[in-house]
Amino acid sequence: MRCGLLGRVLGHSYSPMIHGMLGQYSYDLFPTEPEALDALLRGDAWDGLNVTIPYKKTVVPYCAELSETAEKLGSVNTLVRRADGTIYGANTDYDGFCYLVRQSGIPVAGRKALVLGSGGASVTVCAVLRDLGAASVTVISRSGPDNYENLERHADAQIIANTTPLGMYPNTGSAAVDLRAFPRCEGVFDIVYNPARTALLLQAEQLGIPCAGGLSMLVAQAKRSAELFTGTEIADGRVAEIERAVRARLENIVIIGMPGCGKSSVARRLGERLGREVVECDAYIEQQAGKTIPEIFAEGGETAFRRLETEALRELGKRSGIILSTGGGCVTRSENYPLLHQNGTIFWLLRSPWKLPSDGRPLSQAESAEAMYARREPMYRRFVDVKIDNEGAIERAVEAIARKVLL
Distances (CA, A) of 191 to 81, 165, 188, 201, 346: 28, 9, 10, 11, 23
* Positions marked active-site: 56
Q: Three-class SS of residue 30? A: strand
* Rg of the Cα atoms in the chain: 24
Q: Which residues of 373-406 are buried (b: 16+ CB within 10 A; e: fewer)?
A: beebeebbeebbeeebebeeeeeebbebbeeebe
Give the phi and the psi of residue 57 in degrees, each rounded to 5.
-95, -30
Give the phi and the psi of residue 40 in degrees, each rounded to 5.
-65, -45
- Whether the upstream peptide bond of residue 195 has omega within 30° of 0, thus cis, is yes
Q: Are 45 and 33 in contact (CB under 8 A)?
A: no
Q: Quote the CA–CA distance of 326 and 258 in Å, as a whole number.
A: 10
Q: Quote the CA–CA distance of 152 and 177 in Å, as a whole number.
A: 11
